[in-house]
């Protein structure tokens, strides 16, 4: 995976805004654009993770993020300690939010619903609603598939909020299979999918 930052700050902010607008279920949008932008910058900078974007007239209209593990991303975020501290101020004032962050960390440490799942993971994908249904997500997903394949991954997992209906249809259509369910945030479930690469090799065109 790319060992250096590929995109610029304006891109991270646009990705953060798209995440907050498109992915309604889940906790991350509550952490604010500043935190999300730093998260996506860290994903982009980290050697074990990747961020692909699609643009239209210079603006981000879709993105996908994937990683071999979250640990190096957290480490990268801590490297930006000043921005991280600033982004975390509104969060530490709300203990409920801290507990949810702990839940996210626990999910990643617990392999997200099963012991033999791949460590590689599709972290998030979103397309601006004005550009959906035109194959943007399919292209982004295929870039990630090819990327993980080049990393010799046997497959990758995806945690999907149970209410994100379009996402479930999309992942199933792309060849991911449901392998279980995990409680992410106090009663809110996520379905865990795996896209196996050895038996499901797909090639971007």
Ligand X SMILES: CC(C)(COP(=O)(O)OP(=O)(O)OC[C@H]1O[C@@H](n2cnc3c(N)ncnc32)[C@H](O)[C@@H]1OP(=O)(O)O)[C@@H](O)C(=O)NCCC(=O)NCCS
Q: Which positions lie near ligand X, rule CB under 6 A?
A: 22-23, 124-127, 132-138, 160, 164, 166-167, 169-170, 173
Q: Which is nearer to ligand X, 167 or 197 (CB)?
A: 167
- With a CB cutoff of 8 Å and minimum separation 6, the contacts of 104 are 27, 184
CA within 13 Å, CB half, 103: 18
- Using alpha carbons, select from 75, 151, 161 the residue that is nearest to residue 120: 151
Q: To the nearest whole angstrom, how small is the minimum distance from the Cβ of residue 164 to ligand X?
A: 4
26: tokens are 């889940």
Q: In whole angstroms, what separates CA 2 from the centre of its chain?
A: 16
Q: Report the residue number, 115 or 133, with the smaller CB distance to ligand X.
A: 133
Q: Report in angstroms the alpha-carbon separations of 62 from 70, 86, 197, 203.
A: 22, 27, 23, 19
The number of CA neighbours under 13 Å toward the Cβ of 149 is 16
Cβ 129 to ligand X shortest distance, Å: 7
- Closest to 36 (Cα-Cα) out of 48, 23, 47, 49: 23
CB nearer to ligand X: give 136 or 194: 136
Using the minimum distance from each CB to ligand X, give the nearer residue, 125 or 197: 125
| Whole-number Å distance between alpha carbons of 159 and 167 | 10
Minimum distance of ligand X from residue 89's CB (angstroms)? 27
Question: Residue 144 in 3-state DSSP?
Answer: helix
**Shortest Å distance, C-beta 75 to ligand X:** 24
The nearer residue to ligand X, 80 or 139, going by C-beta atoms, is: 139
Instruction: For ligand X, give the closer residue by CB, 12 or 63.
Output: 63
Q: How far is the CB of 165 from ligand X (least distance, A)?
A: 7
Provide, rounded to whole angstroms, the least separation between the CB of residue 86 and ligand X.
27
């Amino acid at each position: 995976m790319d060992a250096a930052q590929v995109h610029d700050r304006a891109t991270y902010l646009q990705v953060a805004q798209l995440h907050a607008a498109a992915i309604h279920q889940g906790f991350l949008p509550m952490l604010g654009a500043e935190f999300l932008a730093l998260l996506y910058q860290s994903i982009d900078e980290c050697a074990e993770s990747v961020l692909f974007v699609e643009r239209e007239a210079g603006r981000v209209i879709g993105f996908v993020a994937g990683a071999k593990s979250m640990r190096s991303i957290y480490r990268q975020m801590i490297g930006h300690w000043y921005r991280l501290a600033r982004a975390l101020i509104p969060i530490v004032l709300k203990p409920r939010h801290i507990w949810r962050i702990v839940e996210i960390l626990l999910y990643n440490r617990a392999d997200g619903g099963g012991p033999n799942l791949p460590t590689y993971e599709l972290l998030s994908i979103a397309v601006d609603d004005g550009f959906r249904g035109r194959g943007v997500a399919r292209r982004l997903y295929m870039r990630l598939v090819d990327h993980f394949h080049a990393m010799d991954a046997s497959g990758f997992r995806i945690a999907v909020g149970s209410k994100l209906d379009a996402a479930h249809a999309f992942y199933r259509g792309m060849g991911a299979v449901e392998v279980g369910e995990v409680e992410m945030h106090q009663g809110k479930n996520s379905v865990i999918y795996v896209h196996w690469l050895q038996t499901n090799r797909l090639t971007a065109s």
